[in-house]
Chains A and B, each alone.
Chain A
Amino acid sequence: MSALPAYASTGQRIWHYTFRYVICGFILFFLIAPILTIIPLSFNAENFFTFTPAMLSLSPEGYSLKHYQDFFTNSDWQQALKNSFLIAPAATILSTSLGTLAAIGLSQSHVPFRRAIMAILISPMIVPLIISAAGMYFFYSRIGLQGTYWGVVLAHAALGTPFVIITVTATMVGFDRSLTRAAASMGADPVTTFFKVQMPLIIPGVVSGALFAFITSFDEVVVVLFLGSAGQKTLPWQMFTGLREQISPTILAVATIMVAISIVLLSVLEMLRRRSERLRGLSPS
């Protein structure tokens, strides 16, 4: 497949190109087209969800920034944006700090009940969101956290920790233990060793874990829908109600901005992955 041999028959050539360009091309189109379609649609001058004749003829009257203007001036959207940026960083800090500590603990060579502990720590990722949301709603209303800022932050932090655990333990796997021993033999205490030797090496894992945790909270809608009150309305929540009730093209503008954010995050993650592999002496692939 990788390279068609010179002796390939015509049939093989036809199949090779059909497979590569028609079948795979179609599937990749299916994957990417919906996301790409909404980008031009978000510049629609009309309140339609389809391409107007003016847009198709590429005339400038067909395009406008009015949906973006609406997003940046509408108080509902701005409040939602603000809430998202209040909740996600707090949840990220909580889950990253606790998660990194636990991941370091889990990477020690002797951890009693490792499997059971791992199962519990990973469980927020396994349990369907609707069930987590239901349980948290019942439990948090018992203890008065339902409808509060901290309730949402705690819930999001819990949902984000499995990602931190997974990414940080993955970096710890390639970690050379003789480095900490070397530091200790030269008289460094455990705290210095951690910050001077261990931390710089695992930092790519920690940062990508933090990014995952951030995205988890920033994208999360089911739990916040149940746990939050009007005061904690986040961007996804606002999009969800917008899609369910009065669908407005502003949603497409928001969606486009969020696609841009995910492209930035994806590039950062890829950079971190390469850096981490280089640091650990693996050849980047």
Chain B
Amino acid sequence: MSASTTVSSTSGSSGASGPLTNDGQPLKRSLARALRREKFRALLLISPLLVFILVSFVMPIGDMLFRSVENKIVEQTIPGTVRALASWDADSAELPDEAVFAALADDMMLAQEIKIHTRLGSRLNYDQPGISSVFRKSGRKIKGLDHEAAMAGFIAIDPAWGTPEAWTTLRNMKAWPGKFPATAQSWDNWKAWYLSEEKEELDPATTIPHGFTYAALYHDLAAMPASSIDAFATSKNTDAAALFKNLVGQVDSIPSDDFKAQFADIEKGWAELDNWQAIQRLSPRIVDSYFLAAIDAERTAEGIESKPDNERLYLKLFVRTIFMSLVITGSCILLGYPVAYLLANLSVRASNMVLILVLLPFWTSLLVRTSAWKVLLQQQGVINDLLVWAGVINEAGRLVMINNMTGTIIAMTHILLPFMILPLFSVMKTISPTYMRAAKSMGASDSLAFWRIYFPNTVPGIGAGSILVFILSIGYYITPELVGGTTGVFISNRIAYHISSSLNWGLAAALGSILLILVLALYWTYDRIVGIDNVKLG
């Protein structure tokens, strides 16, 4: 391990460089090299596991955190609309202008073709209830939109606009796509639509785009200052100049399909201001809407506001989770303390026997213990039968102890009790019995000696056990799911619901992130008090 650092026994010191080793190196450098090598070797041994954990565990957690704010779907599904909507003033009390609706028609044409519009509808529905039906109902009717007016207008001004060459010229211009953002987007949409509809790549030399792209071109031109069109008409690019020559001064005469009115006919939701406000609010790729939903807040025109009391769900659930975890921790202290005391004060032989009674449940499968409680606590179960037999309750008065809070608290106290007993026991073992004897010899009564001498010494154990039990219970899923019914479930059950049933992954990720932060904060506390290295396993 440190063969190269054996100090030469002959040379005491040789000049300013200090003692030399056998191979003539200064001792200092030799030692430094050995240390470096040792560090490197340690890291080499650790790195396979470190990489494994980073990839299989840490990255997934990072992915979850990222998902709680990620929101690419809006921009991916209706890119043109998002771009056109950016300049709309949401507070103006007026619907977005025709350019936005034209872009929406274009985007939706592609979205319904490749069947992604309902997915966007469901996403927006999380924040704007009702909007998903607007998207769903519009889907099929998009094909029926009148969309050829602009195209006809362009061709009426110059028939050349109806040829594929015109589009090739346009796409070869220096101003493409910079000055034609809507048209360029629409061209890409058209290409994707063509591929999906015709099952083959579009050949731009033989095909002209559909009317939506002409509409986009019209809106791009209408948004430009007249001087830009003049510049195109007189540019050195002769093809382009020819194409734009007749357009000078004519752009305003190109008719519109009035997509705004058509959309309002398809589904009145498109004429509602708050739907558009929601789309604009949810346009960015990173949004805080999932986190707001997770704390029962929402962003309205007036800013961030809490939801009305009757709609608050998650905060209540968080509060309930914390409250029940506290109750469970409390009952674990109450039940765990006497057993730990007994363990610490029995002879080694007897305490080993009792320890087995504690460790057996600890080692038994969680599902076995949960199923035991499910069987015991049912209305036709063993405990109720026993109580009826003993005459404590009558047949009609069988207790409801399962599928509610009571069931969760009883079962989880049982499951987590060993986690309280073991740290308490290890602390109590170290308390010398002479302290108590000293107190009593000076006249303290049993209870005074206990409360003034013994109990304060066990507080670190109570702290360690409590934090451990609390952390474990706050993230529990299986037991509340099986014995909790509706009133005894935790926030983790809601997370699972959003992952597998409602498919609102963003909200699940946001709830999970909040829970994770809570647990990490508690662990940090635990580390400060007990030290993570002191975690013991039975």
Q: Which A residues lie at the B interface, using CB under 8 A?
A: 1-2, 12, 15, 19-20, 23-24, 27-28, 30-32, 34-35, 37-38, 41, 48-51, 94, 98-99, 101-102, 104-106, 108-112, 117-140, 142, 154-155, 157-158, 161, 163, 165-167, 180-181, 184, 190, 212, 215, 218-219, 221-222, 226, 236, 239-240, 243-244, 247, 251-252, 255, 258-259, 262-263, 265-266, 269, 285
Contact = CB atoms under 8 A, between A and B. Distances in A.
A106 B532 CA distance: 15
Given A20-B342, A126-B519, A130-B475, A154 B499 contact: no
Interface in B360-384: 360-361, 363-376, 378, 380-382
B508 A252 contact: no
Given A119-B532, A161-B53, A244-B481, 10 more contacts: A28-B339, A51-B385, A102-B49, A120-B54, A123-B58, A128-B471, A154-B56, A166-B537, A181-B1, A240-B482
B286 interface: no
8 tightest A-B CB contacts, nearest first:
A128-B475, A105-B45, A135-B60, A139-B60, A102-B49, A135-B64, A34-B372, A105-B46
A23 B338 contact: yes
B261 interface: no
Interface string B377-417: 01011100100000000000000000000000000001001
B535 A37 contact: no
Interface residues of B, number: 94
B93 interface: no
A107 B348 CA distance: 31
Given A23-B338, A138-B67, A243 B371 contact: yes
A135 B475 CA distance: 14
Interface string B424-459: 000000000100000000000010000000000000
Contacts of B356: 266
Given A30-B335, A38-B371, A161-B49, A108 B41 contact: yes
Contacts of A163: 537
Contacts of B360: 32, 35, 262-263, 266
17 contacts: A1-B341, A31-B418, A32-B357, A35-B368, A49-B378, A49-B380, A50-B381, A50-B385, A120-B54, A126-B523, A128-B515, A136-B57, A139-B63, A157-B52, A243-B370, A265-B363, A266-B360
A35 B369 contact: yes
B223 interface: no
Nearest to A104: B45
A110 B367 contact: no
A272 B62 CA distance: 38
Given A180-B1, A243-B371, A129 B477 contact: yes
Contacts of B368: 35, 38, 239, 255, 258-259
Contacts of B21: none
B49 A108 contact: no
A138 B60 contact: yes
B496 interface: yes
Interface of B: 1, 3, 35, 38-39, 41-46, 48-50, 52-54, 56-64, 67, 335, 338-339, 341-342, 345-348, 354, 356-361, 363-376, 378, 380-382, 385, 414, 417-418, 433, 446, 471, 474-478, 481-482, 492, 495-496, 499-500, 505, 508-509, 512, 515-516, 519-520, 523, 532-533, 535, 537-538
B342 A24 contact: yes
Residue from A98, A130, A136, A138 having most chain B Cβ neighbours under 10 A: A130
B499 A118 contact: no
A105 B43 contact: yes
B350 to A, nearest CB: 9
Nearest to B34: A110
A128 B325 CA distance: 14
Contacts of A265: 363
Contacts of B495: 130-131, 134
A94 B360 CA distance: 27
A121 B54 CA distance: 9
Contacts of A263: 360, 363
Contacts of B509: 134, 138
A165 B354 CA distance: 28
A266 B45 contact: no
A212 B535 CA distance: 14
A263 B361 CA distance: 10
A30 B499 contact: no
A26 B228 CA distance: 90
A155 B39 contact: no
Contacts of B57: 123-124, 132, 135-136, 158
A19 B338 contact: yes
A198 B395 CA distance: 65
Given A37-B372, A132-B57, A243-B371, A121 B361 contact: no
Given A136-B60, A219-B365, A265-B363, A121 B499 contact: no
A180 B2 CA distance: 11
Contact of A123 (B35, B53, B339, B492): B53
Contacts of B482: 240, 243-244
A157 B51 CA distance: 13
A51 B380 CA distance: 10
Nearest to A2: B345
B46 A117 contact: yes
A32 B45 contact: no
B342 A130 contact: no
B410 to A, nearest CB: 9
B53 A118 contact: no
A122 B523 CA distance: 12
Contacts of B3: 184
A112 to B, nearest CB: 6
Contact of A121 (B53, B382, B478, B538): B53
Nearest to B522: A126
Contacts of A121: 46, 49-50, 53
B51 to A, nearest CB: 9
Contacts of A269: 538
Residue from A98, A155, A263 having most chain B Cβ neighbours under 10 A: A98
A251 B346 contact: no
B494 to A, nearest CB: 10
A108 B35 CA distance: 11
A273 B39 CA distance: 31
B347 A138 contact: no
A105 B44 contact: yes
B359 A128 contact: no
A139 B54 CA distance: 12
A236 B369 CA distance: 12
A276 to B, nearest CB: 13
Contacts of A136: 56-57, 60
Nearest to B532: A122
